[in-house]
Amino acid sequence: MKKVEKGEFGYLAYKKSRNMIKTIIAFAIVLVIFIIGFIIWKSKNNYLTMIAVVLVLPAAKFAVSYFVLIPHKNCDEELKNAIEKCKGELNSVYDLVVSNKQKPVGIMAAVIGDNQILAYTSSAKADKNLFETSVKEFLKNEKLTCAVLLYKDKDTYLEKVKNAALNFDVSKENSLDRKQYITDALLRISRYYMKEINIDEKLAGQKMMRCLERYLSNAPKSFLYKMLRRKNITLNNSKATGDEKLKCGDIIKIFFSDETFEKFSADNNRAVNDDYYSRIYRPLDIIYENSDVIFINKPSGMLSQKAKPEDVSLVEYLIAHLIHKGELNAGDLASFKPGICNRLDRNTSGIVAAGKTTKGLQQLSEAFKLRTLGKYYLCIVKGNVDKRALIKGYLYKDNKTNKVTISRTETKDSLPIETEYIPVCSNGNVTLLKIHLLTGRSHQIRAHLASIGHPLIGDYKYGQKSVNDTFNRQYKVKDQMLHSYELDIPDMDIHIYAAIPDSFKNIMKGEQLCRPGIQEDLEALH
């Protein structure tokens, strides 16, 4: 099939045929995969059926692209020849679908001069006012002003074209340039895909380029800048650089062909995402939340973030939670994704801070980065600790073994660490400590305390196996006794506590670490 460029005669017919072929091929592939799976396994319940179901979605997208074009009429040969015969020095384009805020308007032909656009459609349903208004608005943003007229009677239209051709003065200064500028602008607004990104509280605060990179995740940055320069991507109907800080109420418009958008967009199929997040949804222990941030009491055994693509972590559970509450929909994930700002080890419980909006993420990230907050943990350690102390050192992490080593002197690639511990209660064999984490390095508390002879109960990586085995037999301890208990963020007027898990309480009770007023002491000790 010979390629027909936008604006050329036969473009709409070419697009319809192309999209129809894509649709047929896509559904044929789906059917073949399903049949092969059924033949091999003699059942619909097999892996190939699952693949076929997933492939229905892109096939459906091709089908939608095809059916969207069906209502729009192609320009016929007779009309095209009549226009070419009488247009003189005017430009002509054919088979366009003009995008706008409400619904696209298909035109069979348009003739362009230096101060007017004369368009034609045989469709009685075409919205004349909508077409003329939307094109004028777009041209205005391009710093171009001209008359825009849509005709539905062919004879009247051809008469107007003849008159315009007779009155077109090629000798007038800039007339040829203006004619071409207006033609190019009309082609830019004539897209089969125009996407609007409405900036709300979730998206506000980030730079425009960051938003585009998330929404068009497969597009090179150089391509996005090029589209900005060409005004294929606009901000509030005006040219943008990408460095603009987005505000609530801003509108990003993306004028791409459907092929270009599909090529560069992230995989944002809402039906798939909605189904996924509905399946994984589980209630979360929410400590505190407002419109921008949320704090979760993460249970031991849950990943903070994915380690492998197939993992389900707290991030995914958070998204499912927000979708379940109606504060987010899967389609929003194209341009914004809620995220956590502090990570806890899988087997560490307690407070995880997360941003529900760009503003929230920025506020929390700033607080953690500048350390303008207080982070306090509870842990149960081997041995008797009777004095408060601030210990310092250097931490080196071996990424291959995912294990850290602590030294008193600086070594290559090591990082400085500071850990303050406060004894709360001890029976001589084990001690309940409150930890003030001054630096936040991987495995810092676990390794630092182990280095001074007080490893965490239940920590098989840095602790003492015989001790851990004893507590496992007696209290069914499966994880290290470490809990992110308290978080104080003065700049955000947030001071919260995470309920102590049952695993802690069992040991505290059994080892007689509980006493009257211990809750008050835990909250008061700083």
pLDDT at 194 over 70: no
* Host H or E run for residue 109: strand 105-112
Whether the CB-CB separation of 406 and 448 falls below 8 Å is answered with yes
Calculate mean pLDDT across residues 47-72: 82
Alpha-carbon span 302 to 280, nearest angstrom: 13
Q: What is this structure's pTM?
A: 0.64
* Host H or E run for residue 289: strand 286-289
Tens digits of per-residue pLDDT, 488-499?
999 999 999 999
Q: Which 3 state secondary structure label does DSSP give 292?
A: coil
Calculate mean pLDDT across residues 119-139: 89
**Fold observed for domain 193-264:** 3.10.290
Q: Which residue has the higher pLDDT, 411 or 351?
A: 351
SS3 letters across 5-66: CCECCCHHHHHHHHHHHHHHHHHHHHHHHHHHHHHHHCCCCCHHHHHHHHHHHHHHHHHHHH
Q: Which residues contact 258 (CB under 8 A, 6 or more apart)?
A: 65, 192, 193
Tens digits of per-residue pLDDT, 82-113?
999 999 999 999 999 887 666 788 899 999 99
User: Which pLDDT value is given to residue 77?
Assistant: 94
Alpha-carbon span 498 to 287, nearest angstrom: 7
Q: Which residue has the higher pLDDT, 455 or 262?
A: 455
Label residue 522 left, alpha or beta by phi (over 0 means left) and psi (-120 to 50 means alpha): alpha
Reported as a pLDDT band with limits 50, 70 and 90, residue 269 is very low
Calculate mean pLDDT across residues 149-162: 95
Q: Which residue has the higher pLDDT, 320 or 517?
A: 320
- What is the DSSP track for 163-216? HHHHH--TTSTTHHHHHHHHHHHHHHH--SEEEEEE--TTTTTSBHHHHHHHHT
CATH number assigned to the domain covering 270-363: 3.30.2350.10
- Mean pLDDT lowest among 161-165, 250-254, 497-501: 250-254
Nearest partner of 9 among 77, 70, 68, judged by Cα? 77
User: Which pLDDT value is given to residue 191?
Assistant: 59
Tell me the CATH class for 373-524.
alpha beta
Burial (CB count within 10 angstroms: exposed 0-12, middle 13-18, buried 19+), residue 363: buried
DSSP-assigned beta bridge partners for residue 235: 238, 252
Tens digits of per-residue pLDDT, 201-226?
888 999 999 999 888 888 899 999 99
pLDDT at 407 over 80: yes
DSSP-assigned beta bridge partners for residue 374: 488
pLDDT at 308 over 70: yes
Tens digits of per-residue pLDDT, 429-477?
999 999 999 998 999 999 999 999 999 999 999 999 999 999 999 999 9
Q: Which 3 state secondary structure label does DSSP give 517?
A: coil
Reported as a pLDDT band with limits 50, 70 and 90, residue 376 is very high
**DSSP H stretches of helix in 89-167:** 128-141, 154-167
pLDDT at 21 over 60: yes
Q: Which residue has the higher pLDDT, 43 or 382?
A: 382
Other CB atoms within a 10 A radius of the CB of residue 55 amount to 17
SS3 letters across 320-366: HHHHHHCCCCHHHHHCCCCEECCCCCCCCEEEEEEECCHHHHHHHHH
User: Which pLDDT value is given to residue 195?
Assistant: 76
Whether the CB-CB separation of 289 and 332 falls below 8 Å is answered with no
Whether the CB-CB separation of 385 and 421 falls below 8 Å is answered with yes
Return the sign of the alpha-carbon dihedral for residues 115, 120, 124, 130.
negative
* Residue type at 51 in one-letter notation: I
- Tell me whether strands 374-382 and 482-489 are parallel, antiparallel or unpaired: antiparallel
Averaged pLDDT of the chain: 89
pLDDT at 239 over 50: yes
Burial (CB count within 10 angstroms: exposed 0-12, middle 13-18, buried 19+), residue 308: exposed
Reported as a pLDDT band with limits 50, 70 and 90, residue 241 is very high
DSSP-assigned beta bridge partners for residue 415: 395
Reported as a pLDDT band with limits 50, 70 and 90, residue 253 is confident
Q: Which residues contact 148 (CB under 8 A, 6 or more apart)?
A: 116, 117, 119, 131, 132, 135, 136, 139
Q: Which 3 state secondary structure label does DSSP give 240?
A: coil
* Residue type at 524 in one-letter notation: A
Work out the percent of the chain whose per-residue pLDDT is above 70: 96
Q: Which residues contact 69 (CB under 8 A, 6 or more apart)?
A: 12, 15, 16, 19, 97, 192
Burial (CB count within 10 angstroms: exposed 0-12, middle 13-18, buried 19+), residue 187: middle
* Host H or E run for residue 145: none
Alpha-carbon span 450 to 444, nearest angstrom: 10
Calculate mean pLDDT across residues 293-308: 94
Q: Beta-strand (E) ranges in 312-471?
A: 339-340, 349-355, 374-382, 389-398, 403-407, 415-426, 430-437
Return the sign of the alpha-carbon dihedral for residues 357, 358, 363, 367.
positive
- Tell me whether strands 251-256 and 233-235 are parallel, antiparallel or unpaired: antiparallel
Calculate mean pLDDT across residues 391-408: 91
